[in-house]
Chains A and B, each alone.
Chain A
Amino acid sequence: MLVLSRKIGEKIIIGNDIVITILSNNENNIKIGVDAPNNIPIYRYEVYEKIKNFIKEASKSSSDFPEISDIKSKINKYPKK
């Protein structure tokens, strides 16, 4: 891992196209701005990891198919806000 120290307002550039700016910090967290081309997705790391794990589990789970009768009525509709 490359470790750099930056002051607020300072930036880091990754490759030719990705720029990270340290915006502000307070007691509990820091705000980071990321400029990148539209085709490069940017996610919070822990969300990405959780999704990766879910997809792996989903690919392993798919041989148990329970018998559910009248299935359309049993769908758990997403609650309206």
Chain B
Amino acid sequence: METVKNKLGEIEYSDDNIITFEEKIPGFENLKKFVFVKLEREEEIFQMLYFLISIDEPNIFFPILPIKLIEENYPDYNGYEPFGIVKMSSQISKITINLKSPVYINFEKNTAIQKILDNTDYPIEYQLFVEE
């Protein structure tokens, strides 16, 4: 077991948790290998949130959420599982998920690819939770 350390804590992972991007991520072109984990934490949101943590730069990490929880008819890519990058906020109504450029993950090969669905109406920032 290896560990990565960042402000989320010290996170253990094994080779099975490593996801390699097939192509570059906009803005983070030099980062390819990430740890894919779920965190054991009290807050309910951690039940559905996953994290991609850069192995080379553990301070860079993204919360992601399976898009099928929001939109069952989301475009398919070779049977990969679509995830949306989540922008967190302490205000629930300001938490957004990117539906325009999903991260598709292949859990058999442990690879991922981020696609920009340029010709769709999906927004870059979609409000994730209904207002109270």
Contacts and interface: CB of A to CB of B under 8 A. Distances in A.
Interface string B100-115: 1100000000000001
Contact of A78 (B25, B70, B87, B100): B70
Interface residues of B, number: 47
A26 interface: no
Contacts of A66: 43, 45, 89-92, 95
Nearest to A63: B7
Interface stretch (B10-18, B60-68, B75-83): B60-68
A52 B27 contact: yes
B124 A51 contact: yes
A48 B130 CA distance: 28
Contacts of B118: 43-44, 47
A50 to B, nearest CB: 5
Contacts of A48: 26, 116
B99 A54 contact: no
B47 A47 contact: no
A64 B124 CA distance: 20
Chain B interface helix/strand/loop/mixed: loop
Nearest to B44: A71
B26 A76 contact: no
21 contacts: A50-B124, A51-B100, A52-B26, A53-B27, A54-B85, A55-B25, A55-B27, A55-B85, A58-B62, A59-B62, A62-B51, A62-B61, A62-B63, A62-B88, A63-B7, A64-B90, A66-B95, A74-B92, A75-B69, A75-B128, A78-B126
| 10 closest Cβ pairs, A-B complex | A78-B71, A52-B27, A64-B90, A52-B26, A58-B87, A71-B44, A61-B88, A51-B101, A74-B129, A76-B130
Interface of B: 7-8, 23, 25-28, 41, 43-48, 51, 60-63, 69-71, 73, 85-92, 95, 98-101, 115-116, 118, 124-130, 132
